[in-house]
Amino acid sequence: MTMTTAAILPTSPAPLDIGIGGMTCASCVARVEKALKKVPGVETATVNLATESARIVYAPGEQMEARLRRAVRDAGYEPRAAGAAIDAPDASPWAGFMPVGIGLALSAPLVVPMLADLFGKHWMLPPLWQFLLATPVQFVLGARFYKAAWGALKAFTGNMDLLVALGTTAGWALSMWLWLTAKAGSMVHLYFEGSAIVITLVLLGKWLEARAKRQTTSAIRALHALRPEVAHLMGVDGEVDVPVAEVLVADRLVVKPGERFPVDGTLLEGHTQVDESMLTGEPLPVSKEPGGKLTGGSINGEGRVVMQVAAVGSQTVLSHIIALVEDAQAAKAPIQRLVDQVSAVFVPVVLVIALLTLLGWWLTGHAFELALIHAVAVLVIACPCALGLATPAAIMAGTGVAAKYGILIKDAQALELAHKVDVVAFDKTGTLTVGRPKLTALVVLPGVDEGEALRLAASLQSGSEHPLARAVLAAAQEKGLGIEAPDNARAVPGRGTEGEVGVLSFLMGSLRWMDELQVDMHAVAAQAADLQAQGATVSAMAERTTAGLTLRALMAFGDEPKPGAKEALAELRARGIRTVMISGDNRGAAEAMARRLGLRPEEGEVMAEVLPGDKAARVMALKEGGQVVAMVGDGVNDAPALAAADVGMAMGNGTDVAMHAAGITLMRGDPLLVAAALDISDCTVAKIRQNLFWAFAYNVAGIPLAALGFLNPVLAGAAMAMSSVSVMSNALLLKRWKPVKTGHSNPNPENPVVATK
């Protein structure tokens, strides 16, 4: 039996990343996106100028990847391997400078006489020498502009290269015409130096831009560099070195002092200290004992250890981090839509303005060569390079530096929205508290043995991962009680657990559940109220008998606030942000913990007795009235609320489900990182706005000045080159950001000061 092609095709939309060579400006981005979206089956296509890549989501189809690559090539660009720009080895700071250096060497003799004229010196070179110096710059060094411009013309679009090619060719051709038509022996002013220096300046600007791009992708390259190439495998023949790509789950690996752990796993033998700063941003080493979790990329301390592999390849934590950062840097922020709309019509409008400039000057009685020079200046200064780089450069720098401090931003939308947050809602257990409650009190009914009640409760809860269940188990184990596996155990979401221990049937859960089941609680009602008033979480255990449900014991649990949680809430309040705690505990226990954390229950900052399934509804209620809400949580039951919030923040010490639902992951599980995440969003959005302002300002101010004759092509070329360099340099200032501990909010996003551990 043969399998048809359709049978092996994927059935759900598939993402694809393609590297793209030859893009130079925002118009190129719009052109590639348009070409990709025309391919049947493509659902979305997002092109990033800073990473020189495209992210495409397409419906299943035969040879789709080949079709998409062909579409890129037909649009006039070169399809490359995904991440080629990022995965390239670190180059010398002077890599790629040779064409610029040659251009400067050939252009200098043309520019020096022009500058000497300002001091009354007439060193003008003969026309032949000017021609010999300018022509290689125009047609050899400038060949890249002609090639790209021709591709744009074939696609009936425009880009930066078309503007540069048209402008400099016009200047060069005008100089040739003036030279060849001049009377013998006459002195004629030529414009070879203008065309040559414009091309050289544009090349210089692109070289500086490329250097800056390498810095913006340094975060990704640094993460890739954390992956060791070789692992020490313990095989049947002893210890052998194998490529990390060949390591399998359940393999046993040796890791020597100072080496990086090659993959994720569990410590089997040995004791060591592990530097996990690449994962959490926390510089202090973490002690590891047998059974402890190890993360690939972290650094082993002083001990030789043996680990068992738990995850390899794309399933490792480091791979997930890299994927999150790459996704965020490849994404397009909502603010970019304005740039896309402008760039779609920018080049045609500039061509019209240049033509009107030419006709306006010429028809008002000025010499044709003067009119042409002013039109050339318009073409040169209008290149929209900076527009295409303004947003992605800032996003790459912001997400990169955030990852360095343990803040993983999954998408650009979360990054852009976070600075608008008005309300931050926190899950209590595991987020604001340590999440490891202890059994603090056990109250048994008359005739019930305390040790037996604890043993039965621990047996009933032995299969549960709930923090309260673990606290019961820990208390029973401390007393050496024999625990047996329950039969027919079943978790009742938001309420508790029921099952059988031996021949007896029990339920254990919240007091609210006991009320719903009409369990008689009168005998311990006063004690339960006292424990709750002290901030304890109280559960009850009832036995199912022939007479119905009979209360057997009360158990009180206490948790501790997380280090830094109180400071984190104070920092957010100082920034003018409302904070709310959402808890499933009874109101007394929830409010007692809230006050320890500095929250104000009387002002509505505590939502108590909230069932897991109702958290998302509470978040939606907070969003009413146009408020932007961030939700911070760590558990599976927080995932719907994280997804419902405008910005979801998952604690990195929580569950994978929570992290997938959230737009931002705080790898250290530190509440103080919430304020830091909001601050890096503030700073990044500020940089985006600054970049867009300067990108538009160069064009809005420069085009009229050039059209009115106040800018010559040389100055226009310098201004255009500097626009891209200034935008990239401004974005790179984000790399200086660091979370710094403070007790007050920071009013100046350009000098970020944010609380952290």
Positions marked active-site: 427
Classified as helix, coil or strand, 756 is coil
Which one, of 235, 240, 291, 233, lies nearest residue 267 by Cα?
291
Amino acid letter for position 386:
A
Residue 45 bridge partners (DSSP) = 56
Q: DSSP per residue over 268-316, as a string?
A: EE--EEEE-HHHHS--S-EEE-TT-EE-TT-EE-SS-EEEEEEE-GGGS
Q: Which two tokens stand for residue 221?
A: 């390259």
Could you tell me the two tokens for 295?
């993360």
Question: What's the CA gap between 536 and 588, in Å, rounded?
Answer: 8
**Using an 8 Å Cβ cutoff, are 543 and 552 in contact?**
yes
User: What is the dihedral sign for C-alpha 343, 344, 349, 350?
Assistant: positive
How far apart (Å, rounded) are the C-alpha atoms in residues 749 and 78? 39
What is the DSSP code (8-state) at residue 117? G
Tokens linked to 417? 């929205």
Q: Are strands 14-21 and 78-80 parallel, antiparallel or unpaired?
A: antiparallel
The type of residue at 607 is M
Pair of tokens at residue 548: 């119905």
46 and 55 in contact (C-beta within 8 Å)?
Answer: yes
Q: Which residues contact 465 (CB under 8 A, 6 or more apart)?
A: none
CB 204 within 8 A of CB 721: yes
The number of angstroms, rounded, from the C-alpha of 218 to the middle of its chain's C-alpha atoms is 14
Task: Give the dihedral of Cα atoms 648, 653, 657, 660; nearest 10 deg.
Answer: 50
Give bridge partners of residue 242 from the DSSP assignment. Answer: 231
Residue 622's nearest CA partner among 602, 644, 638 is 644
Helices 98-116 and 127-136, axial angle in degrees (round to 10):
150
3-state secondary structure of 541: strand
Question: Do residues 260 and 299 lie in contact, with contact meaning Cβ atoms separated by under 8 Å?
Answer: yes
Q: State the Cα–Cα distance between residues 341 and 362, nearest whole angstrom.
A: 33
What b/e sequence results for 652-684 when a residue is b if at least 16 CB atoms lie within 10 Å of its CB, and e otherwise? Answer: bebbebbbebbbbbbbbbbbbbbbbbbbbbbbb
**CA gap 441, 113 in Å, rounded:** 92
Residue 439, beta-bridge partner list? 557
| Beta-bridge partner residues of 629 | 423
Which of 380, 330, 442 lies closest to 721, judged by CA? 380
Q: Are residues 354 and 399 in contact, defined by beta-carbon separation less than 8 angstroms?
A: no
Q: Do 652 and 668 form a contact (C-beta atoms < 8 A)?
A: yes
Question: Is 29 within 8 Å of 23 (Cβ atoms)?
Answer: yes
Please tell me the distance from the alpha carbon of residue 288 to that of residue 274, in angstroms, as a whole number.
7
Q: Which residues pair with 63 in a beta bridge?
A: none
Instruction: Give the HSE-up count for residue 572: Cα atoms under 13 Å, Cβ half-sphere.
Output: 32
C-alpha distances (whole Å) from 661 to each of 27, 398, 631, 651 are 34, 21, 11, 11
Residue-wise over 54-75: b if at least 16 C-beta within 10 A, else e?
bbbebeebeebeebbbebbeeb
DSSP letter, residue 751: S
